[in-house]
Chains A and B, each alone.
Chain A
Amino acid sequence: MKRGLVVLDPAEVPDQEWDARVGGLQRSMAEHGADVALVYGDVSRSDDIAYLTNLCIYWNEGVLAIPAAGTPTFLTKLSPRVQPWMKRTSKVTEISSGKGFADLVAKFMLGKKNGTLGLIDAALWPSDVVDEITAAVPGWRVEPLEGLVRQQRLVPSDNEVALLRAAGRILDDAAAEAVVEESTPGGRVETVERALRNGGFLDLYPNSLSTTDGVTSFGVTGQYRTGWVHTSRVVGDDGWTGDLRAALTAAIAAAKPGATLADLTTAARTALDGLPGDAEIRWINQADLSTHGEFRPRDFQLGLGETGSVSIEVVFADGGHAAVAETVRITDGEPEYLTGAPR
C-alpha cells in the first residue's frame, strides 16, 4: 500500500494546472467521440487518477468518471468514512461509494443522454469490470480508448519538473548513502526507507539484484507527489562493473530528442562489449515507472522534455542479474540528470 505523505499544495501545483489537466483530457475525449470517460486505478497503478485529481488510492481499486464538461466524480469501493480525507487531500469534490463499479457507474450515468462511454487504457482494465459496466449501462456504446491521460503525462509541466528535481535530489542522496561498500542488505533498505519517507515520498520500491561473482545492484523506484524517479547502482567498484557504469553514461549522453533504442544501444556498444552477460537498455518514462514500463512497448523515440529512467540490466547465463539506472530529463542539449549526476 501507499503509506507516505500525501500533499495537496497550491504553491506546488496551482488550481489552474489541475483544471487544465482535466480540460486537456476532455478535449481528447471530444476528439475521440467520448461523452464520458472512465479511468481505472488500483493501489499499484493509479497514477492517471492521481495526475487528474491528486487522489491517493492507498489500497484497493477506484474509477474516476470524467464527463464531457464539468468536474470528475470518483467511484470507490472504500467506505464513505474515508471520503473526508479524500476530499481534503485531492481536487475531487464528488465521491460515490458502493460495493461494485457497475452500480456506481450506472448511478453516475443517471440522467445523462445515451452516447459513448470511453474506457481509458482499456486493455489494462480488469475484464470482469468491463463486462459488468457494459451490462450496467444499456444504451451506451462502451468503447476502448488509448492511454489518453498517460499521453498528457509524458512531458511534465514546469511545476512537475520542479517536484521531480526535488525528488531526484532526495533519492540521489539516499542512494549514495545506501550503496557504500560496507552496507548490508537490510541496512540499505533501512537507509532509503528512512531518507525517502522523511523527505516526503509517498511510495518506494527497493530492489536488490545479484550475480554469482558477488556483485550486488541496489535499485529504488519512488513516488514523490504524483511523479516517479528511479535509480539503480552497483555496490562497490570491482572489475566489469566499471564497464557497466560507462555504458550507462554513454547511453544517457545519447538520450536526446528523437533518439531511439537503437541510438542508445549504439552509444553504449563499446562499453557493453566488455560485459560478461547479455545487456538490455531501456528507457522508461516516469509516467510508466510505477509498472517499470512493463505494459508498454520497449521501443521508443524520445521527445523534448520527457523525463524518465535510462537503465541497463545485464543477465548472466547462470541467472545472475545486475542493473544500473538514473533518471534524466531530455533537453535540447545534454540530458539533465535528476539522479546520479556525475560528481
Chain B
Amino acid sequence: MTIDQATKPATSRAAEDLDELALRHQRVRAAMAEQDLDVVLAYGPAWRRENIRYFSDVTPAGSAALVLFPAESGPIAFSTRPSDLTDFARRGWVERTRRLDPTDPAELTDALREFRPKRIGIAHHELVPLGLMETIRAAVPSADVVPATALLDTVRLVKSDWELARMRRSAVVCAAGWEAFVDVLEPGLPEYQIVAEVEARIKNLGAEDNFMLIASGGDEVRGMTPPSARLLETGDMVRTELTPKMNGYWLQICRSAVVGKANDGQRKSFDLFNEAVEAGISVVRPGITAHEVAVAQNDVFRKYGYGEYCTSQYTRVRGHGHGLHLDETPIIEGNHTALPENSVFIIHPNTFTPLAGYHVLGDPVRVTADGCEVLITTERKLFETGDLS
C-alpha cells in the first residue's frame, strides 16, 4: 500500500470526527467522575503533546501548551505560540483558544477562575513548570490539585476505529522509511546520512515527526543511540527503530540489515529474535498483560541459554504501547497492565547477545477479539543490501 491509498483524515470536522470527539469527551468525563474532578488540565511541554492532541486533534508548535477540560462545558486550548491558536480554531475540537504567556498568564488565571473548580486533575502534573504551577495554585487557591496523568493514559489505551485508521497511515510510512533505510546503505556512508535520507523520505510523505535510534557495526554493538559519523563497512549489521508520526499517531518498526551478505552469527541471531517475536505475537489476546507478553519473548532467550540478555544490564523493554505517545505502557516483566482489544503496542525483544551484538526486530500489533493483527506489511527477515532493489 502507498500513502496515497491509505485513508486520509478529513481536515475539517466530518461526521466521524464529531463521533470521535463525543466518544473522547464521554470517556474522559466518566473517568473524571470516578475521581471527583471538576476540571482536567492537560499540560504538554514540547516533547509530550499526546493529551493536547487527544483533546484538540492539533499538535501545537509552541514551547508549552495546555487544554482546560471542564466536566460540564467545552475545552479551552492554550499555547505559547499565536499561530497554534489559529490551528486549534480551524480544527474546531475546542470551544475557545487563549494565549499562554509565561510572563503574563492572566488568560489562564481568568479561565480557571471562571469554572470555580474544587478539584483539578493535571495530566503531566510531573512536568508542569514551577512558574505555571504557582499560577494555577494562585488562581484557584482553594482547589485540590492532583495528578491525572494515569487517567489520560488509561483513557487513551484503547484505540477507536477512527484512531486505528490513522495508525494504519503510520504503518505505511514505517514501511517506506525502512525501504529508504535499506536503499541507502553502502560501505563508506556515515550513519547520520542514513538518518538524513530516511527523514527526507518520510517527511515528504507527511510524517510530522520521527523517533529513531541507530547503531552499526559487528558483535561489539551494545545498544542504539543517535547517529554518529561512523562509516559503514561491508559485513556491518545496521540496526534501527524507526517511529514516524502521522496525523498525531506514532508507530514503530524495528529491523536490522546487513551491508553485503549476512554471516552465520547474524543469521542465528535473527532466527533467535524472530522466534521471540513470534512467541510474543502468539500469546496476544484481549486482557493479556504486558508482563505475559514479555515473558513469552524472554522464555525463548532462556530456552537457548540467553536469558541473562533479557535483563536491564543489556536491554530495556520487550516492546511498548503506541498511540498519541510513542512510548506508552511498557511491555516488560512486572508490568501487569492488561491490554484490551484494540490496544496497540510493538513486540520487540531488542537486546544484545554474543551471536551478533545488539539485534533489533519487532512489529507493532493491534489486539483483536481472538489474537492480534500485525499492522505493518514489511517482511520480518534479516535484510541484506540489494534486497529491495
16 CB-based A-B contacts, threshold 8 Å = A3-B199, A3-B212, A3-B227, A4-B226, A42-B47, A89-B228, A126-B126, A126-B130, A128-B128, A186-B205, A194-B197, A197-B200, A292-B62, A294-B63, A294-B64, A315-B83
User: What sequence of 0s and 1s flags, for each residue 190-220 of chain B, a beta carbon within 8 Å of any chain A beta carbon?
Assistant: 0011011101110111100011110000000
Across the interface, A124 reaches (CB within 8 A) one of B129, B192, B223, B316, namely: B129
Across the interface, B129 reaches (CB within 8 A) one of A2, A123, A200, A321, namely: A123
Q: Least Cβ distance of A198 to chain B in Å? A: 4
User: Residue on B with the closest CB to A6?
Assistant: B226
Contact of B195 with A6 in the complex, beta carbons under 8 Å: no
Contact of A295 with B102 in the complex, beta carbons under 8 Å: yes
10 closest Cβ contacts across the A-B interface? A197-B196, A44-B46, A123-B131, A127-B133, A194-B200, A294-B80, A190-B204, A291-B63, A5-B192, A319-B86
Contact of B196 with A194 in the complex, beta carbons under 8 Å: yes
CB neighbours (8 Å) of B313 from chain A are 81
User: What sequence of 0s and 1s flags, for each residue 65-108 of chain A, a beta carbon within 8 Å of any chain B beta carbon?
Assistant: 00000000000000101101100010000000000000000000
- Say yes or no: is A125 at the interface (Cβ < 8 Å to chain B): yes
- Say yes or no: is A56 at the interface (Cβ < 8 Å to chain B): yes
A1-B212, A187-B204, A292-B81 known; A45 and B199 CB under 8 Å?
Answer: no
The winner among B83, B197, B312, B314 for most chain A CB atoms within 10 A is B83
Contact of B192 with A197 in the complex, beta carbons under 8 Å: yes
- Say yes or no: is B125 at the interface (Cβ < 8 Å to chain A): yes
CB neighbours (8 Å) of B203 from chain A are 186, 189-190, 193, 206
User: What sequence of 0s and 1s flags, for each residue 45-78 of chain A, a beta carbon within 8 Å of any chain B beta carbon?
Assistant: 1000000000010110000000000000000000
User: What sequence of 0s and 1s flags, for each residue 300-334 of chain A, a beta carbon within 8 Å of any chain B beta carbon?
Assistant: 00000000000001010001110000000000000
- Say yes or no: is B229 at the interface (Cβ < 8 Å to chain A): yes
User: What sequence of 0s and 1s flags, for each residue 179-208 of chain A, a beta carbon within 8 Å of any chain B beta carbon?
Assistant: 000000011011101101110101001110
A206 to B207 alpha-carbon distance, docked (Å): 12
Q: Least Cβ distance of A318 to chain B in Å? A: 9
Which A201-232 residues sit within 8 Å CB-CB of chain B? 202, 205-207, 209
Contact of A123 with B130 in the complex, beta carbons under 8 Å: yes
Contact of A127 with B196 in the complex, beta carbons under 8 Å: no
Q: Least Cβ distance of A96 to chain B in Å? A: 16
- Say yes or no: is A10 at the interface (Cβ < 8 Å to chain B): no
Contact of A294 with B81 in the complex, beta carbons under 8 Å: yes
A85-B223, A190-B200 known; 16 new pairs, CB 8 Å cut-off, are A2-B226, A5-B227, A44-B45, A59-B211, A85-B225, A126-B129, A127-B128, A127-B129, A186-B206, A209-B83, A280-B82, A292-B63, A294-B64, A294-B81, A295-B64, A321-B86
Contact of A294 with B229 in the complex, beta carbons under 8 Å: no
Contact of B227 with A4 in the complex, beta carbons under 8 Å: yes
Q: Least Cβ distance of B125 to chain A in Å? A: 6
- Say yes or no: is A43 at the interface (Cβ < 8 Å to chain B): yes
CB neighbours (8 Å) of B267 from chain A are none
Which A1-32 residues sit within 8 Å CB-CB of chain B? 1-7
- Say yes or no: is A111 at the interface (Cβ < 8 Å to chain B): no
- Say yes or no: is A161 at the interface (Cβ < 8 Å to chain B): no
Q: Least Cβ distance of A182 to chain B in Å? A: 15
A123-B129, A123-B130 known; A200 and B192 CB under 8 Å?
Answer: yes
The range of chain A's interface size is: 35 or more
Q: Least Cβ distance of B135 to chain A in Å? A: 10
Across the interface, B130 reaches (CB within 8 A) one of A5, A89, A127, A193, namely: A127
Q: Least Cβ distance of A70 to chain B in Å? A: 27
Which A274-296 residues sit within 8 Å CB-CB of chain B? 280, 291-292, 294-296
A273 to B197 alpha-carbon distance, docked (Å): 43
Contact of A193 with B196 in the complex, beta carbons under 8 Å: yes
The winner among B45, B128, B226, B229 for most chain A CB atoms within 10 A is B226
A196 to B213 alpha-carbon distance, docked (Å): 18
Across the interface, A5 reaches (CB within 8 A) one of B61, B201, B229, namely: B229
A233 to B289 alpha-carbon distance, docked (Å): 50
Across the interface, A128 reaches (CB within 8 A) one of B126, B212, B222, namely: B126
User: What sequence of 0s and 1s flags, for each residue 176-194 of chain B, a beta carbon within 8 Å of any chain A beta carbon?
Assistant: 0000000000000000110
Contact of A197 with B47 in the complex, beta carbons under 8 Å: no
Q: Least Cβ distance of A204 to chain B in Å? A: 9
Q: Least Cβ distance of B358 to chain A in Å? A: 10
A4-B192, A81-B314 known; A45 and B204 CB under 8 Å?
Answer: no
A291 to B61 alpha-carbon distance, docked (Å): 10
Q: DSSP majority for the B interface?
A: mixed
Which B279-325 residues sit within 8 Å CB-CB of chain A? 312-314, 316
Contact of A56 with B226 in the complex, beta carbons under 8 Å: yes
Q: Least Cβ distance of A50 to chain B in Å? A: 13
- Say yes or no: is A271 at the interface (Cβ < 8 Å to chain B): no
- Say yes or no: is B103 at the interface (Cβ < 8 Å to chain A): yes
- Say yes or no: is A342 at the interface (Cβ < 8 Å to chain B): no
User: Residue on A with the closest CB to B200?
Assistant: A194
Across the interface, A58 reaches (CB within 8 A) one of B196, B200, B225, namely: B225
A186 to B316 alpha-carbon distance, docked (Å): 35
Which B7-22 residues sit within 8 Å CB-CB of chain A? none
Q: Least Cβ distance of B129 to chain A in Å? A: 5
A84 to B224 alpha-carbon distance, docked (Å): 11
CB neighbours (8 Å) of B374 from chain A are none
- Say yes or no: is B127 at the interface (Cβ < 8 Å to chain A): yes
Contact of A3 with B63 in the complex, beta carbons under 8 Å: no
- Say yes or no: is B118 at the interface (Cβ < 8 Å to chain A): no
Q: Least Cβ distance of A210 to chain B in Å? A: 9
A4-B227, A294-B62, A319-B90 known; A126 and B193 CB under 8 Å?
Answer: no
User: Residue on B with the closest CB to A144?
Assistant: B130
User: Residue on B with the closest CB to A292?
Assistant: B63
Q: Least Cβ distance of B312 to chain A in Å? A: 7
Q: Least Cβ distance of B191 to chain A in Å? A: 8
Contact of A126 with B127 in the complex, beta carbons under 8 Å: yes
Contact of B128 with A126 in the complex, beta carbons under 8 Å: yes
CB neighbours (8 Å) of A148 from chain B are none
- Say yes or no: is A235 at the interface (Cβ < 8 Å to chain B): no
CB neighbours (8 Å) of B132 from chain A are 127
User: Residue on B with the closest CB to A128?
Assistant: B126
Contact of A45 with B46 in the complex, beta carbons under 8 Å: yes
A45-B46, A190-B200, A193-B203 known; A319 and B195 CB under 8 Å?
Answer: no
CB neighbours (8 Å) of B134 from chain A are 127
- Say yes or no: is B31 at the interface (Cβ < 8 Å to chain A): no
A124 to B132 alpha-carbon distance, docked (Å): 8
CB neighbours (8 Å) of B158 from chain A are none
CB neighbours (8 Å) of B129 from chain A are 123-127
Contact of A321 with B212 in the complex, beta carbons under 8 Å: no
